[in-house]
Amino acid sequence: MAFPLAAIAGGLATSLGGSLAGSLFGGGGTQFQPSETMQALSDYGLGQIKASKQQKKSIKSQFRSLARQGNRGGAEAFLSSYRDRFSNPEFIDKALGKSYKKDVDLNTEDFFNVADRVYKQAGVGFSGEDYQNFANQAKAFGIRSPQAFQDMLRQDLIASGKIMTPEQERLSYMFGMPSRDASGMITNMYQPLRRIDGNAIAQGTPGVF
């Protein structure tokens, strides 16, 4: 016996459409209910984004390792990066809450080396008093990692005129490094240009004046 496939498909579409319309607009029709299989798949999906005991242990172990290396701010950033990856981030919030209560010592070798490297690259130096000012400024800004400390120092150097701007760097390729004043600020003063006498060169005599 042949079955009218078009009629069957049409009937299914009508039935589904009526049920959907009824549930959306308050009309008749059976309310949609997920099957046991659909519910099981949903529960399985939620379970997959829930941090397991092993994942929690691994994440917290890496966090502690970074913190012991003197980079507590970096460790906190690492931990925060997992905040939205799991459906049970309570263990992350708890660890971060404890970490934020601990002060970061900016007078360690790690932070000092950052300042030393940044200032040497800029061609200027700093005193012990200057470094204390750096540390106090960083503390006021809530800086907790060497990376953020480095960014702060570079921004300060640019603002103070002690690091060349892109335009000054381009000019330095042609005219050499610009001079600095007593405070270390770039003055935009370059070596005077030398004019070359083409006729003198052709005659084999010095023509620079």
Residue 78 has pLDDT above 80, yes or no: yes
17 assigned to some structural domain: no
42 assigned to some structural domain: no
Note whether 60 and 89 are same-domain residues: yes
Supply the mean pLDDT for the chain.
77
Q: Of 140, 160, 180, at which residue does a domain stop?
A: 160
Residue 3 has pLDDT above 50, yes or no: no
> Beta-carbon neighbour count of residue 66 at 10 Å?
18
Q: Which residues contact 118 (CB under 8 A, 6 or more apart)?
A: 150, 153, 154, 157
pTM: 0.57
Note whether 114 and 96 are same-domain residues: no
Query: Roughly what angle, to the nearest 10 degrees, separates helices 90-100 and 72-80?
Result: 160
Q: What is the pLDDT of residue 207?
A: 47
173 assigned to some structural domain: no
Q: Of 117, 134, 160, at which residue does a domain stop?
A: 160
pLDDT band for 152, please (50, 70, 90 cuts).
very high
Domain count, the chain: 2
Our measurement of the distance from residue 183's CA atom to the centroid of its chain's CA atoms, rounded to an integer in Å, reads: 33
197 assigned to some structural domain: no
pLDDT band for 83, please (50, 70, 90 cuts).
confident
> Beta-carbon neighbour count of residue 18 at 10 Å?
14
202 assigned to some structural domain: no
113 assigned to some structural domain: yes
Helix (H, G, I), strand (E, B) or coil at 108: coil
For residue 139, give both structure tokens: 């503390």
Note whether 115 and 134 are same-domain residues: yes
Closest CA to 74 of 63, 85, 82: 63
Which amino acid would we find at residue 61?
S
Which domain range does residue 73 map to?
Answer: 53-100
155 assigned to some structural domain: yes
Hey, which bits of the chain come out as E strands? none
Note whether 90 and 124 are same-domain residues: no
More confident residue, 157 or 26: 157
124 assigned to some structural domain: yes
Q: Which of 7-21, 144-158, 176-190 has the lowest mean pLDDT?
A: 7-21
pLDDT band for 186, please (50, 70, 90 cuts).
confident
Q: Which residues pair with 186 in a beta bridge?
A: 180
Tell me if 149 sits within 8 A of 143, measured CB to CB.
yes
